[in-house]
Chains A and B, each alone.
Chain A
């Protein structure tokens, strides 16, 4: 089966600009996750979707971050406006009831 697709792979923006990331999960996977991984740290869950509904967004900085999952399939994560501390790799993962997660390759964001 195809993996989790993410784009872009890399993005460099200036602080206070906006940026959006896209994720296409594995077909049929109802659950989709966005993680933020700062250099040298483990991934931190930002938001979890079940189909097109939000299950948990308690760690999403809602003043600047937003996410949606269109028709329970693709998802976008947006940051507006970006801060220097948002520099990180943003990982998307999807899962089914069977077994673990499948992660995408991530988007590496650099805010300058």
Chain B
């Protein structure tokens, strides 16, 4: 399967803590993206990391990519209640299509 698989499936933390979620995939990729989805809403693009990159930052988000292990991680620092959402990784094996995993459901408790 070309889908990413997120781990854990669900995560519950206190506001202010850091949240880490992981994505593993099976085939080689060109790019990997992370998306956020609030309940009942569309997907919001967070970060794209290319296969030749190892780490990217955007605000409180940090994404790492280890192509040798076929894995990526998303770290959200100093979490807020508004970060409560589902987070998906999407892998791009061909250069123009993305395949989504099943997601990590994050709950940040105020």
Contact = CB atoms under 8 A, between A and B. Distances in A.
Interface residues of B, number: 19
Contact of A105 (B42, B48, B98): B42
A103 interface: yes
Contacts of A48: 96-97
B87 to A, nearest CB: 11
Nearest to B5: A42
Contacts of A61: none
Interface stretch (B11-19, B61-69, B99-107): B99-107
Interface stretch (A13-21, A67-75, A76-84, A94-102): A94-102
B40 A45 contact: no
B42 A91 contact: yes
Nearest to A97: B96
Given A42-B88, A42-B103, A101 B42 contact: no
Chain A, interface SS category: strand
Given A31-B96, A44-B100, A100 B33 contact: yes
Contacts of A41: 102-103
Interface in B43-73: 43-45, 48
Interface of B: 3, 33, 35, 40-45, 48, 88, 96-103
A-B pairs with lowest CB-CB distance, top 10: A42-B100, A103-B43, A103-B42, A105-B42, A100-B45, A43-B100, A42-B102, A42-B101, A100-B48, A106-B42
